[in-house]
Structure 1
Amino acid sequence: MRRWLPLLAISLSTFMLLVDLTIVSVAAPAIAGALHSSFAALQWSVDLYVLVLAALMMAAGSISDLLGQRRVFVAGLVVFAVASLACGMAPNTAALIAARGVQGLGAAAMYATNAALLGSTYTGRDRSVAFGVWGAANGAAAAAGPILGGLLTEHAGWRAIFLVNLPVAAVAVLIAMRAIAESRGSSGGRVDLPGTAAFTLAATLMVYGLIRAGEHGWTDPATVGVLVAGAAAAAAFVLLERGRTNPMIDLSLFRQPSFSTLMFAGAALTASAFAHLVFVSLWAQSILGLSPMMAGLALTPLAAVAFVVAGAGGRLLHNVAPRHSIGWGLLLVGTGTLLGMLLGPDSGWSVLIPSLCLTGLGVGLASPVLASAALTAAPPHRTGMANAAMNTFRQLGYAIALPLLATVSAGQAEGVLAGSGSFADPGAAAMELTGGAYPELLAQASTGTRAAVEDVLRSAYAAGLDSIFLLSGILALIAGGAVLALVRRSPAPSEQASVPDTVAARGPRG
C-alpha cells in the first residue's frame, strides 16, 4: 500500500484545489449576506482564483522543471493552506477576493506538477491506475464543490468551506515529504516573466470585460475599451513568445492539430460541464427555496457518476485510443447538458437528474485522459509545458464561461421580464434575479399581483437557464466532434517501449 501514498497526496491536492473552483457557488447567498456583497463582486472571488491559477500554471511548470517538482508541489500546498486560512477569516469582500487570488497561486504550483509527479512515480499498469484515480479526483471535484459547500455552509458556516482545506493540506504535505521522490523536467532555461505578465494581463482584461458587459452592456465604451485592451495584450503575448528561446508556451505546438484540438477540448470540458452549476445552485436555493445542503446534494448525480466512471476508466479503457474517450465523453457532456433544457418554470430539482448523470458519465470518460493525451502530443522536452498548458486551458474555459453565461442568462431573463411589463427596469431586475435575488424581487410585488409576478420571475429564470444549457451543450458537441476528427491516434502499446518515460506519463493508451 505504501506505493500508493504519492497518489493519495497528489489526488488530495487536486481534489482540494478543484473543489475550491465551485465550492463558493452554493455558499454565495450566505457570503453575500454576511459580507454585504453583490453577486458581481462575489463572482470575482471565483474568477480571480481561476485567473491566477490559469495564468501562472505554465510559469509554475517551468519553475518546477528548474527547482524540482516535489519542491514546487509542497510550496504550493503551504501557500494554498495559508491563503485558505485568510479566506476563512476575511472581514470583507475585498479581503476575500485578495485571499482567493493568493489561493490561486498555490493551486497553480500544485496543479502544474501533478501529472509530472505521477509520471515519474509510476510505470506500466500502475501508471494507468494512478492516472485513472487522479482523473476521478479531477472529474468529481468540481461537481463535488457545491455538495461540500452546502453541507459545510449549513452546518458549520460559510467560513468552513475554506478552513476545511487546512487539515487536508497538512496531510498532503506530510505524505509528499515522506513518500514522493524529487524529480525535474528537462526543459531548462529561465522562467518567462514577460510572457507570464502579458498572459495574465490579457486573461484578466478579457474576463473583466465579460463581467462588465453583463452589468453595463456590450456597447458600453468602457466595456469595449477593456476588451480591446485584452485583445492587444493577447497579441503582445504572442509576439513575445515568438521571440523567446525559452517561452512560457512554445507556440509551434499549436501547429499540430492534435495538440490544438486537445487544448480546445480541455477548455470546452470545464466550460460546458461545470460553469453552469453555479447558476443551477442559485436556482435551487432562490427559486426552489432549498437549503444550501440540499442544493448541493441535488448535484450529487454528476459528481458520483463522474467519480465512478473515471476511477474505473484507468483499468477498463487501458487500450482505448484517448481520442475516443475524450471525444465521446464530450459528446455525452453535450447531450447531457442539452437535456437540462427540460427544466421549466414549475420544475423541481429532479428534472435535472438525467442531465446530471449523462454529463457525469461524459466527464468521467474525458477527464482522466486529457492530461495524458496532452503529454503524448508534445515532444519529450516539452512535457512539463504541455501538462501546464492543458491545465491552463481547462481553467480558462471555466473563467471565461462563468461571466459569459451570466451575461447570456441575464439577457434572456430581461427579455421575459420586459415582455411582462411588471418591472420598470427589467435589465436591473434580470441581473438581480439571475444573481439569486428572487425572494427579494417577489417580496416587492403587491398582494394582488404577487401570483402573476411569481410566474414571470420563474419563467424568466428558466429562460435564462435554458440559454445556459443550450450554449454549454453546443460547445461540448463541437469539441467532441473536433477531437474525434482531428486528434491523431496515439502510439500503440507495443510502440511505447521506445517512448521516453516522461512522455509516456499518461493513462489509457490506444
Structure 2
Amino acid sequence: MRKWIPLAAICLGAFMLLVDVSIVNVALPKMSADLNSSFTSLQWVVDIYALTLAALLMVCGSFGDRLGHRRLYLCGLVLFAAASLVCALAPDAATLITARAAQGVGGATMMTSTTALIAGAYQGRDRGAAFGVWGAVNGAAAAIGPVLGGLLTDQFGWRSIFLVNLPIAAVALAMTLGKGLRLPRPHAVEGRVDAAGALAFTVFAAALTYGLIESGSHGWGSTVVQVPLSGAAAALIVFAVVELRVRRPLLDLSLLRNRSFTGLLVGGLLMNAAAFAELTYTSLWLQQALGLSPLDAGLAVSPMAATAFVVALGTGRSLHRFPPQLPIGVGLLFIGTGTLLLTAVSATSGWSALLPGMLVTGVGVGLSTPTLMATALGSVAPQRAGMASGALNTSRQLGYALGIAVLGTIFQQHAHGHSARAAFAAGLHPVFLTAGVTGLVAGVLVLTAVRRPHTTALAHPVATSSAAGAPAGQADNIAR
C-alpha cells in the first residue's frame, strides 16, 4: 500500500484544483449579494482562474523541467492553499478576483507537474493503474464540484467553498513532504525559459478576455474594449515572432502545419466553450430566477458531469477500436445537440427543462474527452508530445475563459423582460444557441481535419519532457 501514497498525494491536489473550476458557479449569487458586486465582477471571479491556468500552463511546464516537478508541485500546493484562504477572507470583489488569479497560478504549477510525477513514480502496470485512478478522480471532481459547492454554501456560506481547500492541501502537503513522494530526479532541461514568449502569450490571453468581458457593459465601440482587443492582436503577433526566433520556444509553430493537431487544438478550445462556459449563467438562472438553493442548483446541473463520467468509464476501453476522430467528433456533435436542447428553457420553465440537454451533452463529453489528449500526442512526433499536451491543455482552458466572456456579453445584451424569469430566459436562449452551434462546428471540424495518428505516441499517452523544454504530457480530463 505504501507505493500508492504518491498517487494519493497527487490525486488530492488534482481533485482540489479541478473542483475549484466548477465549485464557484453555484455560489455566485451569494457572493454577489454579500460583496455587492456587478455582473462583470461575477464573470471575473470564474474567468480569472481559467484564464490564469491557460496563460501559465506552458511556461510552468518549462519551469518544472528545469527546477523539478516535485518542487514545483509543492510550491503550487502552498500557493493554492494560501490563495484559497485569501479568497475566503476577501472583503470585496477586487480582493476575491485577485486571490482567484493567485489560485490559478498555483493550479497551473500543480497541473503541469501531476502527470510527470506519476510517470516518475510508477512503471508498467502500476503506471496504467495510477493514470486510471487519476483520470477517475478528475471525472469525479467535475461531477462533485457543483453539488459540493451548493452543499457548503447552503450550510456554511460561500466562504466555506474556499476554506475546504485548506485541510485537503495540508494532507497533500504532509504526504508529499513525508516518505510518500520520493521520486527519481529527472534529467534537467538546459537553457532558459522562453520568458518573452510566455509574457506575450499571457498579455494576449488577458487582453482578449478583458476586452470581450467589458464589451457586454461598454459596447464594442468603447475605448475600454477597443484598446485591449488591439493590444491582444499585437501581443499575438509578438508571440508568433518570438516563437519563430527563440531557440527553445514554448510552442514550436511548425506543429500548426499538422492539420490533425491544429484541428484538435481548435476542437478542444471550442469544446470547452460549448460544453461548460454556459453553466455559469445556467447556475445564475436556477438561483436568481427560479429561487433554487445553491445545493439544488448544483444538483440540477450535475447530470451532465455524472453522465460524462459514466460514459467515459464505460466506453474508454473500446474507443481505441475506432479512428480517433470518430469518438471526438461525434462527441462534439452530441455536445452541440445537447446544448441546443437547452434552448427549450423559457420564462415558464422549471429546472427539469435542463435535463434532456444536460444528459445528451454529458454523453458527448464522455465520448470526446478520453481520446482527445492521446490523439493529440499521437498526431505529433514523440519528442514533441510534451509540448503538444501543454498546447492542448492551454487551448481548452482558454476556450473556457473566452467562452464565459463571449457568452456573458451575449447574455447581457439580450437579458431583458418584465420579470427575472423572462429576462433570464431571453438572455439564456441566445447563449445556448451560440454554444450549441459552436459544438456542432467543432464536431464537423474534427471529423474533417483529424486523421488516425501514425506515430507511437498513442501507445504511450504519458510523455516525458521534450528537448524543447515543454511540459510533461498530461492525461485528459472531463472537468474543464
Which residue does 2:71 correspond to in 1? Answer: 71
1:43 aligns with 2:43: yes
In 2 relative to 1, CA 406–11 (structure 1 residues): closer, same or farther, beyond 3 Å? same
Gapped runs of 5+ residues in structure 1?
A: 418-452
What does 1:227-266 align with in structure 2 at a 5 Å threshold?
227-266=229-268
Question: Which has the larger displacement, 129-138 or 211-220?
Answer: 129-138
Query: Post-superposition shift, 1:54?
Result: 1.0
Q: Percent identity?
A: 50
Q: Secondary structure at the match of 2:347?
A: coil
Contact 2:273 2:400 in 1 (8 A): yes
Which residue does 1:420 correspond to in 2? Answer: none
Distance in structure 2 (CA, Å) of the matches to 1:332 and 1:187 = 42
Which residue does 1:421 correspond to in 2? Answer: none
Q: Deviations over 1:324-364 (max 9, x none)?
A: 33222212111111111121211111111111112112212
Whichever residue aligns with residue 260 of structure 2, its letter is: S
Contact 1:133 1:314 in 2 (8 A): no
1:294 aligns with 2:257: no
Which residue does 1:173 correspond to in 2? Answer: 173
In 2 relative to 1, CA 399–60 (structure 1 residues): closer, same or farther, beyond 3 Å? same
Which residue does 1:423 correspond to in 2? Answer: none
1:8 aligns with 2:1: no
Contact 2:386 2:463 in 1 (8 A): no
1:377 aligns with 2:384: no
Whichever residue aligns with residue 353 of structure 1, its letter is: L
Query: Post-superposition shift, 1:120?
Result: 4.2
Distance in structure 1 (CA, Å) of the matches to 2:354 and 2:150 = 18
What does 1:190-229 align with in structure 2 at a 5 Å threshold?
190-229=192-231
Q: Deviations over 1:400-451 (max 9, x none)?
A: 111110111222234xx4xxxxxxxxxxxxxxxxxxxxxxxxxxxxxxxxxx
Which residue does 2:103 correspond to in 1? Answer: 103
Whichever residue aligns with residue 235 of structure 2, its letter is: A
Which residue does 1:303 correspond to in 2? Answer: 305
Query: Post-superposition shift, 1:379?
Result: 2.8
Question: Which has the larger displacement, 154-163 or 403-412?
Answer: 403-412
Distance in structure 1 (CA, Å) of the matches to 2:300 and 2:458 = 45
What does 1:393-472 align with in structure 2 at a 5 Å threshold?
393-414=395-416, 417=417, 453-454=418-419, 457-472=420-435
Whichever residue aligns with residue 390 of structure 2, its letter is: A
1:483 aligns with 2:446: yes
Query: Post-superposition shift, 1:261?
Result: 1.3
Contact 1:115 1:371 in 2 (8 A): no
**What's the RMSD between the two structures over aligned residues?**
2.7
Query: Post-superposition shift, 1:301?
Result: 0.7
Q: Secondary structure at the match of 2:193?
A: coil
Contact 1:60 1:108 in 2 (8 A): yes
Query: Post-superposition shift, 1:276?
Result: 0.6
Q: Tell me the matched-pair count.
A: 468
Q: Secondary structure at the match of 1:478?
A: helix
Distance in structure 2 (CA, Å) of the matches to 1:124 and 1:482 = 36
Distance in structure 1 (CA, Å) of the matches to 2:210 and 2:475 = 36
Question: Which has the larger displacement, 37-46 or 147-156?
Answer: 37-46
Query: Post-superposition shift, 1:133?
Result: 4.0
In 2 relative to 1, CA 22–135 (structure 1 residues): closer, same or farther, beyond 3 Å? same
Rg: which structure is higher? 1
In 2 relative to 1, CA 175–382 (structure 1 residues): closer, same or farther, beyond 3 Å? farther
Question: Which has the larger displacement, 195-204 or 40-49?
Answer: 40-49
Distance in structure 2 (CA, Å) of the matches to 1:96 and 1:105 = 14
Contact 1:371 1:387 in 2 (8 A): yes
In 2 relative to 1, CA 211–492 (structure 1 residues): closer, same or farther, beyond 3 Å? closer
Query: Post-superposition shift, 1:368?
Result: 2.7
In 2 relative to 1, CA 377–235 (structure 1 residues): closer, same or farther, beyond 3 Å? same
Gapped runs of 5+ residues in structure 2?
A: 467-471
Distance in structure 2 (CA, Å) of the matches to 1:495 and 1:32 = 45
Which residue does 1:164 correspond to in 2? Answer: 164
Whichever residue aligns with residue 374 of structure 1, its letter is: A
Q: Secondary structure at the match of 2:415?
A: helix
Query: Post-superposition shift, 1:167?
Result: 1.8
Q: TM-score under structure 2 normalisation?
A: 0.89
Distance in structure 1 (CA, Å) of the matches to 2:175 and 2:292 = 39
Q: Secondary structure at the match of 1:299?
A: helix
Contact 1:333 1:358 in 2 (8 A): yes
Query: Post-superposition shift, 1:130?
Result: 4.2
In 2 relative to 1, CA 459–336 (structure 1 residues): closer, same or farther, beyond 3 Å? same
In 2 relative to 1, CA 258–137 (structure 1 residues): closer, same or farther, beyond 3 Å? farther
In 2 relative to 1, CA 483–120 (structure 1 residues): closer, same or farther, beyond 3 Å? farther
Contact 2:58 2:250 in 1 (8 A): yes
